[in-house]
Amino acid sequence: MPHSRTLLIIDDCVEDREVYRQYLSKDPHQSYRILETDSAEEGLLLCQKDACDLILLDLQLPQMDGWEFLDELRQQSPNLPVIILTGYGSEAIAVQAMKKGARDYLAKAHLRPNILQLTVRNTIERSRLQKQLRQSQERQRLIAMMSLRIRQSLELEQILQTAVMEVQMLLGCDYAAIYQFTGNGSDRQQNSQQFCDRSKSDRQSSIVCEAKFRSCCGEQPNLLATETNLEIPIILKNCDRIEQFSWGFLLIHHCSQKRDWQIEEIEMLHEVSVQLALAIQQAELLKKTRVALEEEQKLNAFKSKIVATVSHEYRTPLATILAAASTLKQHGKRLDITKKEHFLQLIENKCRHMSNLIDDILCLDRANRKQIEFESVLIELMPFFATLIQEHQESTSGKCELNLKFSGNLTNFHGDRRMLEQIFDNLISNAIKYSPDGGQIEIALMGKEDEVIFSFQDEGIGIPKEEQETIFQSFHRGSNVDTIPGTGLGLAIAKTQIELHKGKVSLWSELEQGTKITVILPKRIST
């Protein structure tokens, strides 16, 4: 049998009250606690004091009658159901009673136990269902409003901030926070049931947003005290909408007084969490789109730059090649062997320059598309650098003096040989190119336990301070290079390759005093 209901009988006739009591006490389906009074005024006081489920009301009462009582009750407890019982039954009275808010109407003359029992039971049940409906509508309204506020922004930080504030206000709790799971993607592929048990799944999470009331325990709420906490998972769906993963969870904490979380509160939080998940998903999607768009724009700018550079850089050598070739064609027979060789050398040099330029551009393009193959091998740094320096000295006919210094432990160094040759080749050729004839260039290698520090210092023209930040970007050249040839790709390629080695590059430069480029590379790349 369902738990007992409280009824209030308001009737000035003692005998009638006794009849109702008897009829209702015999109801086999429901038990009642019965309050009674003979006056409407006292009836109003009683239902203020006691939580009643239903009122049986006689219309004919001394002083305040049933009609007046209904008016007062509508102000006081608009949802408390009332059944009218009167000796003078008529259709007009029934209609008027319903208009005034009564739920049903029974004529005393025709009253039978089963009629009273059934009417009372049905009215209470109907009223309970209506109450549930009202609550659920109110909940939906609140959730809709919250969702609207949460989803007003497309910025993740703003979304999370709004969500914790809304949840804290909705529940009046001491503390609300959002945690996001950290770790790699495979970690995320968990299903929603496993998720809640954080201690067992041993997943790492970090707080991303919180809101706290002053009443909360100390500076750091005791979030491990599970009896004060409520954890609601935030589950995101993958693009295909079939797979889902736990993004994080909503943590609600209340410690200023004992609180039993109500089932409705938990249900509401789950609904908020669904809306929050959608908002997070939208924000993440927007972020990804923005990044892709930026990448696309960068790539487009890069391509335009390539077209401009290639057409500009090719025009001069092509003109030289054309001139040399037509001289050879027209006057070849009359030219002596040294002149002929001079023109052929010119053609070869210009073709090599053009071919190098294409190689550089292709290399950067592959790096941009992350298509570079990386093959790590053990490299003996001392002979590696000795050869490199010898080649440079020969190719520049000893324009500068290159001094090489080694210190520390340089053994056990690994890297991609071709890439390392390109990196150091670019840095050494810059040092020579931008130095005066006879300039001193110091190349130093310092071996540490896990890394090697390489530095290249010259006494050349230097780089203007305001241009140093962008000098590693492709096609950027110092405004002081004057007629020194170059395309502005060497440093960009070197930087990309250093990063592929998980290394760092930094720069010091002073105009007319010199430049020092420092590269730090790990001895072995950890994967």
488 forms part of the interface with ligand ATP (CB under 6 A) = yes
Contact region for Mg ion (CB under 5 A) — 12-20, 25-33, 133-141, 483-491? 483-491
Structure tokens at 28: 């086999």
Alpha carbons 65 and 77: distance in angstroms, whole number? 18
426 forms part of the interface with ligand ATP (CB under 6 A) = yes
What is the length of the chain? 527
In this structure, the number of other CB atoms found within 10 A of the CB of residue 360 comes to 20
CB contact set of 186 (below 8 Å; sequence gap of 6+): none
Question: For residue 475, which amino acid is it?
Answer: F
What residues pair up with 446 in beta bridges, in sequence order?
Answer: 407, 453
Q: How far is the CB of 477 from Mg ion (least distance, A)?
A: 9
Alpha carbons 383 and 394: distance in angstroms, whole number? 17
52 forms part of the interface with ligand ATP (CB under 6 A) = no
What strands lie across the sheet with 175-181, from one edge to the other?
205-212, 175-181, 244-253, 229-237
497 forms part of the interface with Mg ion (CB under 5 A) = no
Q: Which is nearer to Mg ion, 117 or 430 (CB)?
A: 430
Distances (CA, A) of 421 to 349, 384, 426, 490, 494: 21, 9, 8, 12, 10
In this structure, the number of other CB atoms found within 10 A of the CB of residue 369 comes to 9
Alpha carbons 269 and 252: distance in angstroms, whole number? 10
Q: How far is the CB of 292 from Mg ion (least distance, A)?
A: 31
Alpha carbons 52 and 149: distance in angstroms, whole number? 38
**R_g of the chain, CA atoms, integer Å:** 43
Contact region for ligand ATP (CB under 6 A) — 124-132, 158-166, 291-299, 489-497? 489-497
Q: Which does 515 bind (CB under 5 to 8 A by kind): Mg ion, ligand ATP, none?
A: ligand ATP
Contact region for Mg ion (CB under 5 A) — 3-11, 172-180, 485-493, 508-516? 485-493
430 forms part of the interface with Mg ion (CB under 5 A) = yes
Q: Which does 159 bind (CB under 5 to 8 A by kind): ligand ATP, Mg ion, none?
A: none
422 forms part of the interface with ligand ATP (CB under 6 A) = no
- The DSSP string of 107-135 is EGGG--HHHHHHHHHHHHHHHHHHHHHHH
Given candidates 37, 487, 496, 497, which one binds ligand ATP under the rule CB under 6 A? 487
Given candidates 233, 415, 462, 503, which one binds ligand ATP under the rule CB under 6 A? 462
Given candidates 27, 58, 166, 458, which one binds ligand ATP under the rule CB under 6 A? 458
Q: Which does 489 bind (CB under 5 to 8 A by kind): ligand ATP, Mg ion, none?
A: ligand ATP
486 forms part of the interface with ligand ATP (CB under 6 A) = yes
Q: Which is nearer to ligand ATP, 470 or 526 (CB)?
A: 470
Structure tokens at 262: 């109500």
Q: How far is the CB of 511 from ligand ATP (least distance, A)?
A: 9
**Looking at beta carbons, which residue is closest to Mg ion?**
490
Contact region for ligand ATP (CB under 6 A) — 184-192, 293-301, 447-455, 485-493? 485-493
Given candidates 232, 268, 410, 471, which one binds ligand ATP under the rule CB under 6 A? 471
Element (H, E) at 45: helix 40-49
478 forms part of the interface with Mg ion (CB under 5 A) = no
Alpha carbons 403 and 391: distance in angstroms, whole number? 14
Q: Beta-strand (E) ranges in 43-137?
A: 54-58, 82-86, 104-107
Q: Which is nearer to ligand ATP, 213 or 314 (CB)?
A: 314
Alpha carbons 26 and 117: distance in angstroms, whole number? 8
525 forms part of the interface with ligand ATP (CB under 6 A) = no
Q: Which is nearer to Mg ion, 171 or 505 (CB)?
A: 505
Compute CA 484 distance to the chain's CA centroid, rounded to the nearest angstrom. 48
460 forms part of the interface with Mg ion (CB under 5 A) = no
Given candidates 431, 445, 505, 519, which one binds ligand ATP under the rule CB under 6 A? 431
For ligand ATP (CB under 6 A), the number of binding residues is 21
Given candidates 233, 490, 503, 514, which one binds Mg ion under the rule CB under 5 A? 490
276 forms part of the interface with ligand ATP (CB under 6 A) = no
How would you label 191-212 residue by residue, b for 16+ Cβ within 10 Å and e otherwise? eeeebeeeeeeebebeebbbbb
Asked if residue 24 lies in contact with residue 49, where contact means CB atoms within 8 angstroms, the answer is: no
In this structure, the number of other CB atoms found within 10 A of the CB of residue 283 comes to 19
Given candidates 324, 491, 498, 521, which one binds ligand ATP under the rule CB under 6 A? 491
Q: List residues binding ligand ATP (CB under 6 A).
A: 426, 430-431, 434, 458, 460-463, 471, 477-478, 481, 486-492, 515
